[in-house]
């Protein structure tokens, strides 16, 4: 729903509802790379929002995925052409660095929306800028960055981009659990 831009507009004294047309998630396809604890929690919520969920995780048993209502694919690139939204929940390793880069963005459906709340560097940020500029990507939500703290990025201020300063575990409950 372009909430950050809509809030900014309203706080500037404008009532521009027509400029903030959103996209419904019900009936859309979510691709999840990494079906560990967090990826599974995302899948559960997405299914509750009536999304089709397709996942990739080399360690996920097909029976478990089926029980959860997740369609499992054999490799991450298998889900790229069919997802409307893509989220990653994998650790940062040499194998996952730039997991989503220019070649992968070219495989994604035009108008895809991408989410990274796992680790910076899994998405190539320069490729994200190019994808947004070309219209290949409709939106990006980032909570993590290749270099942190990150206070300046070409992604900041781009239309369709929502950024936060690595807030994933920034709740009172999460901090209590960590302690």
Active site residues: 119, 148, 166
Residues in the chain: 179
Do 29 and 84 contact (CB within 8 A), yes or no? yes
Reported as half-sphere exposure (CB side, CA atoms, 13 A), residue 113 has a value of 17
Question: Is residue 65 a contact partner of residue 42, using CB atoms and an 8 Å limit?
Answer: no
Q: Edge-to-edge strand order for the sheet containing 29-33?
A: 71-72, 52-56, 29-33, 85-88, 112-116, 137-142, 161-163
CB 32 within 8 A of CB 47: no
Bridge partner list, 139: 113
Give Dmax over CA atoms of the chain in angstroms.
53
């Amino acid at each position: 729903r372009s909430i950050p831009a809509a809030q900014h507009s309203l706080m500037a004294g404008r009532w521009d509802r027509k400029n903030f047309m959103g996209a419904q998630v019900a009936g859309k396809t979510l691709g999840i790379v990494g079906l560990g604890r967090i990826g599974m929690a995302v899948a559960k919520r997405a299914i509750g929002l009536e999304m089709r969920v397709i996942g990739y995780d080399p360690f996920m048993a097909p029976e478990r995925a089926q029980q959860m209502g997740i369609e499992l694919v054999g490799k991450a690139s298998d889900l790229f052409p069919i997802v409307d939204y893509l989220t990653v929940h994998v650790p940062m390793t040499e194998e996952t660095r730039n997991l989503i880069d220019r070649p992968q963005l070219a495989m994604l459906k035009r108008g895809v929306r991408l989410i990274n709340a796992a680790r910076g560097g899994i998405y190539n940020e320069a490729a994200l800028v190019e994808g947004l500029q070309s219209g290949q990507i409709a939106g990006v939500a980032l909570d993590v960055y290749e270099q942190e703290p990150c206070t300046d990025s070409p992604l900041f201020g781009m239309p369709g981009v929502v950024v936060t300063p690595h807030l994933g575990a920034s709740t009172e409950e999460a901090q209590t659990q960590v302690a």
